[in-house]
Every structure is written in structure tokens, then in C-alpha cells.
């Protein structure tokens, strides 16, 4: 059974990836209910946190029902990262995760996220300093390398482990690839199969079917799967993967009633957490996936993503259930 510090995890745990504007408390709660073993916050800027930027501070909100929960931070300046560890520590997460993998230009241009893959020494020294600065387990999420010519992930993993990193989640693409092409899990397996490694190695990238999760476990031998895009608007993905890994059979997809219920709860929790306006606006991205595959649903989808008030959205969800309640998802 893999462990992160003293946190015991089940065999082949499923982790909800940190995703900007996605993995907030309402969505994490839904994923947790559906079987996610560890959930991570959206990534939080060290500089934003030190400046007390409202959006960064709000991302620190975590709840007991989410545990074990990891707060993910990004930055490239030692002093800022250490101050951030202190701020984060005060909120009581189970894990502090460092983002050394985000490929987005505004992050990379500051030398943070995947930008640090150009300076492995800095990546290692930042990790070491943060490990020494807190008793909370420090983990790292990263990519294979900056580009194909600079892949040194086996060495990088060893060095991070040597300075006290407690677990490593590796996205099977380079920064140059962004999200294009296929994720290469063979290199993640190389890290896992390195006899020097003893911390958990989690695979990330293209875990988009229960079958793929099984391949990651059985053929690549990884310790767990970190799931991102496959879960957006579809928290049931976690329970479907778990059921398949256990039985080799597919669970039937969620009914229309379950989907509407999840969308309603998601919206209500979002409003309770960040207010009417933001709650309505930021839940929109999930509706397409909540109701994916229903023929003639476009009219309702358009309403869901354009209404500015929650009363209209709730009414539309009720109407959709009335009209499509008998629809059988294949």
C-alpha cells in the first residue's frame, strides 16, 4: 500500500489532479464522494499568496470531509516559497504539493511550473528547502522534461526523493507538447522501476477510461493514477474506475436524475462558497460534461451557460430532468 508521509492510501489510489478553475471545494467534494482517494486544490501562486491576493487566499479553503487533501503551490523564488509554506501550513492541509509541471505561458515565463524544468538544480534546491521548512509531507507534480532533448526524469526523480520529496506525480508529456500527442507512460514506469526509488510514483495524462487506469496499474506498475480532464463535469469517473479495477466490469453511467442532482449540488455549493455571481459563472464549464451525449440537449445547454442568476439555472435543470428524465445513457 502506498504512503505519503504517514498518510496510508489504498492499493492503487485515484487522485484528483489540481486544475485551475476546476478543482475547487464544490468539485472536490463531489469527486471525494465518488471515490477520489486524495484531492488537490487548484494551484496557488506563491507571489499572489504573499501579496494576500484575494483569489489566491480563497483557494486555501479546505474542509474536513475532503481529507486527505493537498494544497498545491507554484513559484520559483526561494524566499517567497518558504513564506508560502508558512501561510499554507496554518490552514492545516495533509500534503503540500509543488507544481513543477504547469505548461501555461504566464506561469512558465516566470520560471515557475514547467519553466523550472530548464533549471533542475533550482527545482531540487527549492524542494529541499521546503521539506526542511515544514513537517507536512512535500510532494511534487512535474512533467517528463522541457522538451524531448532534455528528458532526465529518472535522475530528477532520484534527486527529488533524496532531498525528502514524499511522492511524485508525473505527467507523461514534455512542456513543449503541452496537451498534444499521447502521454508516454513508459518513462514514468522507468522512474517507478528504478531500484533506488521507494516513494510512490503516480501517473498522470490520458487516464480517460477505466481500461487505461488498469493498464497504468497492471502493465506499467505505477502506484496510482492522478486524474484530471476525464473528471471535469464527470465526478463519477472515480467510481467507474474503482469498480472496473475491482470487478473487470463497467458500471452503468449515471442516470439523468443523478446528473441533474450533481449539477444542482455543485451550483449550490459554489454559490455558498463564492457567492451568487461567481458561483453561477464558474460552474458553467462543467455542464457540457454533466449532460454529454444527450441528443437535442443544445437548447438547455445554451441556457445553462448563459443565465446569470441561479434561479434560472435551477429552473432549467428541473425542466431538463422533466424532458430527458427517461433518457438511458449507454
Q: Is 102 among the residues known to form the active site?
A: yes
Number of Cβ within a 10 Å radius of residue 279: 20
Q: Which three cell numbers stand for residue 86?
A: 508558512
The C-alpha cell 449515471 sits at: 254
Contact status, residue 6 vs residue 217, Cβ threshold 8 Å: no
Q: Which of 76, 102, 131, 183 is catalytic?
A: 102
- Give CA–CA dist 169/69, Å, rounded: 15
Buried-state track 221-250, b at ≥16 Cβ within 10 A, e below 16: ebbbbbbbbbbbbbbbbbbbbbebbeeeee
Contact status, residue 46 vs residue 75, Cβ threshold 8 Å: yes
Contact status, residue 251 vs residue 35, Cβ threshold 8 Å: no
Which residues participate in catalysis according to the annotation? Answer: 102
Amino acid at each position: 500500500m502506498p504512503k505519503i508521509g504517514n498518510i496510508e492510501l489504498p492499493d492503487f489510489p485515484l487522485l484528483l489532479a489540481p486544475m485551475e478553475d476546476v478543482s475547487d471545494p464544490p468539485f472536490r467534494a463531489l469527486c471525494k464522494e465518488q471515490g477520489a482517494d486524495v484531492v488537490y486544490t487548484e494551484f496557488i501562486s506563491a507571489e499572489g499568496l504573499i501579496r494576500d491576493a484575494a483569489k489566491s487566499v480563497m483557494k486555501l479553503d479546505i474542509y474536513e470531509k475532503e481529507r486527505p487533501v493537498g494544497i498545491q503551490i507554484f513559484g520559483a523564488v526561494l524566499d517567497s516559497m518558504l513564506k508560502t509554506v508558512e501561510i499554507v501550513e496554518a490552514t492545516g492541509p495533509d500534503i503540500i504539493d509543488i507544481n513543477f509541471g504547469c505548461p501555461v505561458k504566464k506561469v512558465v515565463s516566470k520560471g515557475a511550473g514547467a519553466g523550472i524544468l530548464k533549471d533542475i538544480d533550482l527545482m531540487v534546491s527549492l524542494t529541499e528547502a521546503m521539506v526542511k521548512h515544514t513537517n507536512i509531507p512535500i510532494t511534487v507534480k512535474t512533467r517528463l522534461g522541457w522538451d524531448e532533448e532534455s528528458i532526465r526524469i529518472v535522475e530528477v526523480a532520484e534527486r527529488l526523493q533524496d532531498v525528502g520529496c514524499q511522492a511524485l506525480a508525473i505527467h507523461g508529456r514534455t512542456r513543449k507538447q503541452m496537451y498534444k500527442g499521447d502521454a508516454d507512460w513508459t518513462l514514468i514506469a522507468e522512474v517507478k522501476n528504478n531500484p533506488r526509488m521507494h516513494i510512490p510514483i503516480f501517473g498522470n495524462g490520458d487516464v480517460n477510461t477505466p481500461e487505461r487506469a488498469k493498464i497504468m496499474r497492471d502493465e506499467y506498475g505505477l502506484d496510482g493514477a492522478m486524474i484530471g480532464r476525464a473528471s471535469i463535469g464527470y465526478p463519477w469517473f472515480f467510481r467507474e474506475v474503482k469498480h472496473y479495477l475491482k470487478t473487470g466490469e463497467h458500471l452503468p453511467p449515471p442516470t439523468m436524475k443523478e446528473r441533474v442532482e450533481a449539477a444542482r449540488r455543485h451550483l449550490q455549493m459554489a454559490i455558498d462558497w463564492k457567492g451568487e455571481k461567481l458561483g453561477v459563472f464558474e460552474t458553467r464549464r462543467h455542464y457540457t460534461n454533466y449532460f454529454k451525449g444527450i441528443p437535442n440537449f443544445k437548447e438547455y445547454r445554451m441556457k445553462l451557460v448563459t443565465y446569470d442568476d441561479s434561479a434560472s439555472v435551477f429552473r432549467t435543470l428541473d425542466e431538463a430532468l422533466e424532458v430527458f428524465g427517461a433518457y438511458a445513457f449507454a
